[in-house]
Amino acid sequence: MTKKTTNFGKEVIAEDEKRGRVAEVFDSVASKYDLMNDLMSAGAHRLWKRMVAADTGLKPGQSALDVAGGTADIALLMADKVGKSGRVVVYDINGEMLKYGREKVIDKGHLSDMQFIQGNAEDISFADNTFEVATVGFGIRNVTHLAKALGEMTRVVKPGGRVICLEFSHPRSALFRAIYDAYSINVLPNVGSAITGDRAAYVYLHESIRKFPTQEELKATMESVGLYRVRYYNILNGIAAVHIGYKV
């Protein structure tokens, strides 16, 4: 029987290997993850995450799930919106990322009103219709089955609720794309090696972005799992994109 395969960057590997390979990447970079995000984006990722938090439309007392939430940047912004009477859950498959996220939340005095759960985005351990919003920031490209993960996020959101995905994407301008690719191929792995000691992790980062669906393809996948009024907007010519869909 032929094994099912998937992409890990440019590599084609057996599906059952991907989770372990991704775990190795994030175990390696977890302690420097926030610093590398700042360096890679010149701090702009913080603004992008604020844009996502604004897109949630969350109000005091509501609940939100941040899938692949790792170091809790988006979750903290949502916690500010829902207040002490609300609920924010950080859900991530990687224990090291959750560890650093929990430490950050403690430093900011939010631990009592936030929950950290280790789990797989393709099998979310919450009942149907639990949250007003489910978000994922720079994590969805690491799952093995994209539609399954988006379907799980949709399942746990209440009718009328939102699923929001922030992810690196595909620049619209050919010139911009060429410059971005040169930066990603020639600069990022060297910076990653210097800061984290793991060049391969940042080679994978570039490769996984290039293999990720286009903006229109991701929109179609979100629609295929039952989301409607799906729209997206590009950031910096499409270096990143935010997709927003609503549950019927």
Q: Would 65 be classed as within a structural domain?
A: yes
The model's pLDDT over 188-216, given as tens digits with 9 standing for 90+, comes to: 888 888 888 888 888 888 888 889 999 99
Q: Would 8 be classed as within a structural domain?
A: no
Task: Return the number of other C-beta atoms located less than 10 Å from residue 208's C-beta.
Answer: 18
Taking the C-alpha atoms of residue 79 and residue 68, their distance in angstroms, rounded to an integer, is 16
Q: Would 48 be classed as within a structural domain?
A: yes
Token couple for 150? 């988006």
0.95 cut: is pTM over it? no
Opening angle at CA 111, ends 109 and 113, nearest 5: 105
For residue 60, pLDDT beyond 60: yes
Q: Would 219 be classed as within a structural domain?
A: yes
pLDDT computed for residue 1 by the predictor: 57
150 contact partners, CB below 8 Å, separation of at least 6:
140, 163, 165, 221, 222, 225, 227
| Count: domains in the chain | 1
Q: Would 186 be classed as within a structural domain?
A: yes
175-197 exposure pattern, b = at least 16 Cβ within 10 A, e = fewer: eebeebeeebeeebbeebeeebe
Task: Return the number of other C-beta atoms located less than 10 Å from residue 154's C-beta.
Answer: 20
Residues linked to residue 233 through DSSP beta bridges, in sequence order: 242
24-33, 54-63, 164-173, 219-228: least confident range: 24-33
